[in-house]
Structure 1
Amino acid sequence: MFGTSGIRGTIGEEVTGALALAVGRALASSGYERVVVGRDVRESGRILRDALTAGLRECGADVVDVGVVSTPTLARNVAPLEADAGVVITASHNPAADNGIKLWLPSGKAFGLDERRAIEARIDADDYDLRTWNDLGSLERDEHAADRHLEALRRSVSLETEPSVVVDVGNGTGAITASVLSSLGCDVLTLNGQPDGSFPGRPSEPNEETLGALMAVVERTNAVVGIAHDGDADRMVAVDETGSFVPKDVLLALFARGSALEGERVAAPVDTSLAVEDALTAIGASLTRTKVGDVYVAERATEPDVVFGGEPSGAWIWPDETLCPDGPLAACKLIESIETHGPLSTQAAGVETYPIRRRSVRVDDPETVVERIEAQVLAEYERVDTLDGVRVDTGDGWFLLRASGTEPVVRVSAEARATSRAEELTAEATAIVDDAVSD
């Protein structure tokens, strides 16, 4: 039921009002007595919110509805609203036909494996503490969640100039980025700013293929950067002042290098590029690898010498600020970095990169396939890491095979310092998957 990013799937199939009702009941029955609930701009979110809220209240939990907000806004309001948990109804970067449910702790961290399993077990057992008519939970509405988030963002950075910035909201909930940058004195132009859960402007996931309009606008203006979010604004990617998309691994390296000092660590998942590790080694810092998923990066970021965590997907975590991926915060930090260290294109050019290949192989049972892969790889290779899937270090590169937490696919990643070797490793890794599927 729960993947690494909560519950996510197609409305009317994997994700229904009945499921949302069950999650609400399970949360309240598990002792979460006050819960903050918000949703992204998808129309289906209204139904899921109503069902989930009903489940919470009929099992005695009090609900604070904060309306349509970004995921980081929701996560960062659980503690200020003195709640025990938060729920955001969102499918993040997925297409309009999907929706989902993600659960948050007061720390700003998403529910971990133990919390998710406890909720799932209660749902499977149909074990709910339904209350009588005079013991139902209350419902209140709070309209200040975005204001609290915006004020926290304003405190996180300091800008001395008034740069021009283009923000592609992607028809999602990321307008708070434009608001905070404007309040900091930036000259902000927005694209796809009208909230619309059908995502008419571009697909919800921001990447080089979907951000053509943003790249063209930045190239033709005096903007110092272009910012883009996914549907719930937990992700942030960037376009430099020349209109060129900044590779996500490069952006991760820049954030890591800008956050860590000598002796400190940065948390990133097992599919992170060697470019990040090299950038940190050059300044005496180090990379600590985690499972793929922002919840695992956030867990590692609670360790005292971990000062930043990030994923190549575009999720960035500064633990001194919050343990949730905060796209608007990342936008503010990036603009502050440009003001301090110079043009983004120059900074990006200073990161040595290597050819990295990522692809997905659709299979019926990813977990079983990866189990077969692990047995084969452990028998054939010497340096193997099974923290999350199977990662093989070949000395001149690496490849990773892991089951997706959100789709029926095996993720294949490979990187080497030479292009020909990266292609060889990709072919080698894909062949391993094909062999495991055919067994």
Structure 2
Amino acid sequence: MFGTSGIRGPVGDVVTGELALSVGRAVAGDADRIVVGRDPRDSGRWLREAVAAGARECGTDVFDAGMVATPTLARAVGREDADAGVVVTASHNPPEDNGLKLWNPSGQAFDAAQAGEIEERIERGEYDLADWSGGGGRGTIDDATERHADALVEAVGSIDDLSVVVDLGNGAGGVVVGALERLGCEVEVMNGEPDGSFPNRPSEPTAENCRALRERVVEADADLGIAHDGDADRMRAATESGRYPDGDVLLALFAREAASEGDRVAAPVDTSLAVEDALEPLGASVTYTPVGDVHVAGRARESDVVFGGEPSGAWIWPEETLCPDGPLAACKLAATVAREGSFDALVDGVPTLPLRRTNVEVAAKEATMERVRERVEREYGSDRFTTLDGIRVSFDGGWFLIRASGTQPLVRVTAEAREEARAEELLATAEEFVADASAE
């Protein structure tokens, strides 16, 4: 039921009103007060109502933040002295999908143990329903976005003489516009009207999907382009020349800004060695986690971890919040570009390695991965690979990773080496393992 980013899937099939009602009831088992919100998808209106109804019939008070960015909702949980938060969103998935993601007061998403407990309650159908006189109350939170913007401005301070084009992708991330303007930026907005059908570009802020942003940054002679997904937990960016740096490059830039000697940066196992290379001169290091922002956030709770990020575009500053906060990342990147003078120059300052990523659609992820593990162990022995998340095989100057997607019927394959030909060779080897395993 729960993947690496909560519950997510097609509406009416995986995600239903009955499921949302059950999630509300299950969350109420440990919560006297919850905060709910949603992204712009139309299905979110009634799914949010179903979550609220389930919680209230178990005696839990529900406070509705309305249509907000996911990090806005996550920040509101602790601020409103609530016990949990539920945001109805499918993040960067297509419009026909929706989902539910659960949040702790710290801003960290529910971890595997918490999600497992919710899932067990739903499967057992064991809820503590209130009697006719004991239903929970309901209220609204009207200033969640404003309070989020206040926090962004406080975290960054001010930015002088920077022009920014922001592509909201018709999502819920409008908080970033007001924050950047208050910080002193000149802001042009693209696709700013919230629309859960995402009419102007797919929600996921990839380089291809954000081609119009890249072109507009050049046309407008802007210093920076910012792109969010539907719920603004992700942030990607375009340089003044229209380049769209890989997420590993952004991770290295953010890590280098945050870390000093002895510090650690949390990153998933599919992260480029370029991040290690960027931190080594500072005396800082990478601590690897399973893929998924909840795992990065969990590691970021440790005292010497100053930043956590995923190449997909999720960025976490634990002193601010344990939720991936795309608008915060946008503001911090804007401040760095304004100080250094050129985003292109910053990107050029991060040496990259040949890294290849691809996806393989499979019918049975778990069975395929088990057969891959058996084949890898026969080929290389157990001391060559790790299973922190998927199967990561290390070589001198390179590695490949094979792991099942947490949200889609895919096996994700990543390979990297210090020479391009070697990276291609490792990718082909990994793909062959998956193809052979899935053919059985």
Q: Deviations over 1:225-274 (max 9, x none)?
A: 00000000000000011111121111111001111001110000000011
Distance 1:36 1:191 in 2: 29
**3-state SS of paired residue (2:79):** coil
Question: 1:123 deviation in Å?
Answer: 0.3
Equivalent in the alignment of 2:167: 168
Provide the secondary structure at the position in 2 that maps to 1:338. helix
Q: Partner of 1:45 in structure 2?
A: 44
Identical columns (%):
58
**Alpha-carbon deviation of 1:340?**
2.1
SS of the residue 2:363 aligns to: coil
Larger CA deviation: 375-384 vs 304-313: 375-384
2:21 maps to what in 1?
21
Aligned-partner Cα distance in 2 for 1:79–1:338: 31
Deviation at 1:375, TM superposition (A): 2.2
Amino acid across the alignment from 2:210: L
1:213-292 to 2 correspondences below 5 Å: 213-292=212-291
Matched, 1:407 2:393: no
Q: Indicate conservation of the 8 Å contact 1:159/1:339, yes or no.
A: no
Give the stretch that moved more between structures: 69-78 or 395-404. Answer: 395-404
Runs of 4+ off more than 3 Å? none
How much has 1:160 moved relative to structure 2? 4.5
- In structure 2, C-alpha distance between the alignment counterparts of 1:363 and 1:211, rounded to whole Å: 28
Show the 5 A alignment for 1:329-348. Answer: 329-348=328-347
Q: Partner of 2:98 in structure 1?
A: 99
**Residues 348-367 of structure 1 aligned to structure 2 (within 5 Å):** 348-367=347-366
What residue in structure 2 maps to residue 321 of structure 1? 320
1:24-73 Cα shifts (integer Å, max 9, x gaps):
01111x22110000000000001101111110001111000000000000
SS state of the match for residue 352, structure 2?
Answer: coil
Q: Which residue of 2 aligns with 1:398?
A: 399
149-158 or 364-373, which deviates more? 364-373
The CA distance in 1 between the partners of 2:258 and 2:50, in whole Å, is: 41
- The 5-angstrom pairing of residues 370-409 of structure 1 reads 370-381=369-380, 382-409=383-410
**One-letter amino acid of the counterpart of residue 332, structure 1:** C
Instruction: State which drifts further: 340-349 or 96-105.
Output: 340-349
Which consecutive unaligned segments of at least 5 residues does structure 1 have?
A: none
The separation in 2 between residues aligned to 1:294 and 1:342, in whole angstroms, is 30
The aligned counterpart of 1:4 is 4
- Normalising to structure 2: TM-score of the pair? 0.98
Which one-letter code corresponds to 2:307 in the other structure? F
Q: Give the superposition deviation at 1:396.
A: 2.2
TM-fit CA distance, 1:161: 1.0
Q: Which residue of 1 aligns with 2:196?
A: 197
Deviation at 1:220, TM superposition (A): 1.4
Amino acid at match of 2:312: S
**Within 1, Cα distance between the matches of 2:159 and 2:264?**
29
Does the residue aligned with 2:231 lie in a helix, a strand or coil? coil
The equivalent of 1:138 in structure 2 is: 137
Q: Secondary structure at the match of 1:67?
A: strand
Give the Cα–Cα distance (whole angstroms) in 1 for the partners of residues 411 and 205 of structure 2.
22
Query: Counterparts of 2:123 and 2:351 in 1: how far apart (Å)?
Result: 49
Q: Any conservation in 1 of the 2:146–2:175 contact (CA below 8 Å)?
A: no
Shift, 1:94, TM fit:
0.4
Partners of 2:131 and 2:85 in 1: how far apart? 24
Between the aligned partners of 1:396 and 1:154, the Cα distance in structure 2 is: 42
Q: Deviations over 1:125-169 (max 9, x none)?
A: 011111111000111111011111111101001225131110001
Pair 66,160 (structure 1): closer, same or farther in 2 beyond 3 Å: closer
- Structure 1 residue 364 displacement after superposition: 1.8
- Tell me the SS of whatever aligns to 2:195: coil
Report the TM-score when normalising by structure 1. Answer: 0.98
What's the offset of the Cα at 1:211? 0.8
* Alpha-carbon distance in structure 1 between the residues aligned to 2:428 and 2:64: 49
Partners of 2:23 and 2:54 within 8 A in 1: yes
1:57-68 aligned within 5 A:
57-68=56-67
Within 2, Cα distance between the matches of 1:131 and 1:389?
A: 43
Say if 1:270 and 1:388, in contact at 8 Å, map to a contact too.
Answer: yes
Distance in 2 (CA, whole Å) between partners of 1:348 and 1:158 is 23
- Write the distance in 1 (CA, Å) between the matches of 2:169 and 2:420: 34
Contact 1:45 1:90 survives alignment (8 Å)? yes
Work out the CA distance in 2 between the residues paired with 1:383 and 1:282: 27
Counterpart AA for 2:82: A
Q: 3-state SS of the aligned residue for 2:412?
A: strand
Give 3-state SS (helix, strand or coil) of 2:77's partner. coil
Give the SS at the match of 1:56: helix
Name the SS of the counterpart of 1:251 in structure 2.
helix
CA distance in 2, matches of 1:353, 1:407: 28
Question: CA–CA distance in 2 between the matches of 1:186 and 1:192?
Answer: 19
Tell me the matched-pair count.
438
Letter in 1 for 2:279: L
- CA shift, 1:438, in A, is 2.3
CA distance in 1, matches of 2:159, 2:405: 43
Given that 1:192 and 1:201 are in contact with CA atoms closer than 8 Å, whether structure 2 keeps it comes out as yes
Deviations 1:163-214 (A, max 9, x none): 1110001000111111101111111000000110000111000011011111
Which residue pairs with 1:148 in the alignment?
147
- Superposed displacement of residue 2, structure 1: 0.3
Describe the SS at the equivalent of 2:393.
strand
Paired residue type of 2:2: F
2:185 counterpart residue number: 186
In structure 2, the residue corresponding to 1:174 is in which secondary structure? coil
Question: Which AA in structure 2 matches 1:407?
Answer: Q
Structure 1 Cα separation of the partners of residues 359 and 33 of structure 2? 40
